Amino acid sequence: MNRKLGSLLMAMVLLTGSLPADAQQSKRLNDNWEFLQQDLGGIWEAIRPVGKGNPESVPLWKTVTLPHCVNAIDGVDPDVNYYQGPAWYRTQLTISNPYTKGRTLLHFEGAGQKISVYVYDKLVKTHVGGYDEFTADITDAVEAFTKDPVFRKQFNGKIPVSIRTDNSRDLEMIPSSLSDFNIYGGIYRYLNLVYVPAVSFDKLFVKAEVDKDGKAGKLTITPRFYDPAFEGGEAGIELRITDPAGKLVQQKTVPMPVEGPEPVELALKKPRIWSTDNPQLYTIEAVLKTIHGDVKHTVRTGFRHTEFVEEGPFLLNGKRLLLRGTHRHEDHAGVGAAMTEDMMRKEMIMMKEMGVNFIRLGHYQQSRIILQLCDSLGILVWEEIPWCRGGLGGKIYRDQAKRMLVNMIEQHYNHPSVFIWGLGNENDWPGDFPAFNKDSIRAFMSELNDLSHNLDPDRKTAIRRCDFCKDIVDVYSPSIWAGWYRGIYTEYKSVSEMEMKKVRHFLHVEWGGDSHAGRHSESPDKALMAVKAGGAADERAGDASLYGGAARVSKDGDWSESYICNLIDWHLKEQETMPWLTGTAQWPFKDFSTPVRPDNPVPYMNQKGVVERDFTKKESYYVFQSYWTSTPMVHIYGHNWPVRWGDAGEEKMIKVYSNCDEAEAFLNGKSLGIKKRSSQDFPAAGLRWAAAFNRGNNTIRVIAKKGKTIVTDSISFQYQTEKWSKSAQVKLQKLSEANGIVTMQATLHDVNGVQCLDAANWIRFTLAGDGQLIDNQGTSSGSKYVQLYNGRAIIRINTNKGKSVLSATVPSVPSAFAEL
């Protein structure tokens, strides 16, 4: 890790406190929750005074911690549809508001998808939308309940809070259930208990402006107050502005009418500039002073200037910046959408270390923590509302879309990382309604576009894949999947240039392809021979299907890491020769769950990530790193390829991904020579060697140099020359055991015991006994039902300090068993 990135990461850890605005009187409500995955007959069933064991205590609740996702496990269970329906959470709170006549709030950072909040039996708040933040003011309900005898008698002075979540399918809400991602239920982001005085900040909008030369900066600070019980009186705001080094640069106290707050403008000469390499953040601290008490709101912002050149590149602070991007869904192995702050931080650091400077958050408003991380790491953001596929609904549908756009812009307005507001995705995709009316979709897209510009005139609007609306928004991305859903990957550059000339501002988001982690190929581009060239920008709704239609790699390819590395390698080397290109965003960074892909090698998973759902890096991660980073690195392709195959004496390709100037490869201790890196020498930028492997064990080592810096890498593997016939037997082998976790590998062999290294059969693991399969993780080594990768599959078992029997079953082959 270089020194600059290291300092960025340290600053990020210090700056990403993630409490809501009035932070000094706020705490996360993570513990002491009970959960029920079904509906109740009514709120009374959540608060009925019965003890454990009483027949009236059913249905049975279980203890959970927040954040919590209803679909943490079943979202990728190969044997069931994931649950879409009501669920309940309940807890008891000790309320102690320090402010006289203060307000007590529950601040939700996100919950899915329809929410009802109760204090005892009183409904205090409903919210529709699984991704925007909202607040439930429980003050009056709490006060009323404390006068009820059951406050002391049944609840011992605590406040019962019950929350109903509901992610049922509903055609009149967004996102569509046709979307290529799970529409999760639960309180899957942080929930905070907040105390504020009678008058407090609702929002503090901060606009940081600077000219492209960075000479003149201006801050415009506009407060909006929350005052449901305001009884008059004066207010004042004390402002403190500190620079990125913590130095106070301005301090000012201004009177402020509560009923009509006005903007405050402050000028700064030569402010320190926010950029993707050096994300300098200023801190605005505002203290609201009224007769009801003081309350503080802190905002971090940055000064940067963005510009899209018409039919040309993107400029940040007056200089061209090639946007090197990816995508993100809120989804992770074992937790679904309920990622913790530590998980989110790890994910964003992995992106930055891969060289990312841009991200499109697909396809909904994401956690405030992610935006804070992008601010502090230097990652530009395209964030969008979840108007995704299906067509266009009625008034309820449209009102929700507009409300979510307003909330997204207002809640994330202050983040310097955000430079594009997305209005929709794949809105040319019908299916939710009998009629599909392009004119109506255009009219509503125009309405959203105007709304976005009225709320935020300085940021661009954008959509992806809806050609009949591309003239409405500021920035447009067509659908170009060269070498995956359509065409071949060598068409990428010419197709992109053709599409660029059709719009004012072109930004290509979503490209790449699926790879089944651990699957490799000795001839990865073989499927391209059957694919018709042309039409790489003509993706259609049915192209993701694994059945029917014209030949395409997504259907007819091997889904190997080898092929995807070649596809990515080609795209990246071409992007370096496209001076007019604003940038791109590969789809996505991490594999994620989806209900519309039950037949993928890991069922219900979109496997286009460069890391698996549990953060395990695929080989393609290092291809990006070799093009996008400057800290010296080197990586030999094939770290998770234990057995290669071919004829005795046959020369095989060795590929090395590195950003160093040169590299020397060694096979079994013998030098294969030094190669110079050249980005246009495909594949692997010229760092490739042809050599014949020994039968059996082989070791490859590489030494790479960049200036005076030397980095190395090595791998060991087997080389199999024996040919295999039809698969006939499954074998189980223990690979390791540690801390009560056993790692087992199943391999498929022919009648002679030769491993079938091209086998992609389905395999199912089952377990009987004391242990438990670690499955439903959405990974190639964490799935009970999965396609083999090169004739093998891995599964892990928690033994629970007992005995179990593991079985591995491949259709038409006798099952294998192993005692654990």
Q: Which of 785, 102, 647, 172 is nearest to 433 (CA)?
A: 172
Rounded distance between C-alpha atoms, residue 101 and residue 198, angstroms: 6
Q: Which two tokens stand for residue 221?
A: 């600070």
Q: Which of 91, 589, 121 is nearest to 366 (CA)?
A: 589
Run of H or E including 718:
strand 709-720
| Burial (Cβ within 10 Å: 0-12, 13-18, ≥19) of residue 310 | exposed
How far is CA 236 from its chain centroid?
40
Q: Write the DSSP symbol of residue 131.
A: S
- Active site residue: 330, 426, 491, 510, which one? 426
Could you tell me where the beta strands, DSSP code E, fall in 66-199?
Answer: 86-93, 103-108, 114-119, 122-128, 134-137, 159-166, 191-196
Rounded distance between C-alpha atoms, residue 592 and residue 329, angstroms: 7
Rounded distance between C-alpha atoms, residue 164 and residue 744, angstroms: 41
* 426 catalytic residue (yes or no): yes
Contact residues for 638 (Cβ-Cβ < 8 A; gap 6+): 520, 619, 644, 715, 717
| Residue pair 341/308 in contact by the 8 Å Cβ criterion | no
- Tokens 């209803």 found at: 70
Rounded distance between C-alpha atoms, residue 330 and residue 368, angstroms: 12
Contacts for 230-235 with beta carbons within 8 Å, 24 or more apart?
230/198, 230/199, 230/258, 230/259, 231/198, 233/199, 233/258, 233/290, 233/291, 233/292, 234/290, 234/291, 235/199, 235/288, 235/289, 235/290
Q: Which two tokens stand for residue 524?
A: 């990865």
How is 249-307 classified by DSSP, letter by letter?
Answer: EEEEEEE--TTS---EEEEEESPPBB-SSSB--EEEEEEEEETTEEEEEEEEE-B--EE
Rounded distance between C-alpha atoms, residue 687 and residue 561, angstroms: 18
Give the active site residues: 426
